[in-house]
Amino acid sequence: MDFKYVKSKDWYVPDIQCSVEGKKRNIGKYGRLREKFLKENRKAIFDHLVASEELVNHLVSVDKEARKQINMIISQLAKEENVDENIKASNHILWMQKMNNIKNRAEEIVIKELIYN
């Protein structure tokens, strides 16, 4: 990758321009979590993604994949634990508690495996 360099005081620094198109895309909750993780823990990867203008695409991709996996895990856990429409019809509060628990577990799994990896 070739960069143009500009003089700033006594230093030459890369003249990097970010595309405006990338800023219009919504990176979502999981994309923001991934961005924060990369900034704080994987600085070299973060810098490379910024320099190659792939950061936004990466974050959108991670967010999309995280949502897909969370929905799949929620469906599987709900089926395994027999949390279905019958429970919802008979005891809505119990159904909501169980679904919130399942959702939290699914998010925890995906965040650990996909976001913080």
**Distance in angstroms (rounded) separating the CA atoms of residues 106 and 72:** 9
Instruction: Look up tokens 């890369």; give the residue.
Output: 14
CB atoms near residue 3 (< 10 Å): 11
Domain ranges for the chain: 26-115
> pLDDT of 19-38, one tens digit each?
544 455 789 999 999 999 99
In the chain, the amino acid numbered 106 is A
**Distance in angstroms (rounded) separating the CA atoms of residues 2 and 10:** 21
> pLDDT of 91-106, one tens digit each?
999 999 999 999 999 9
Global pTM reads 0.76
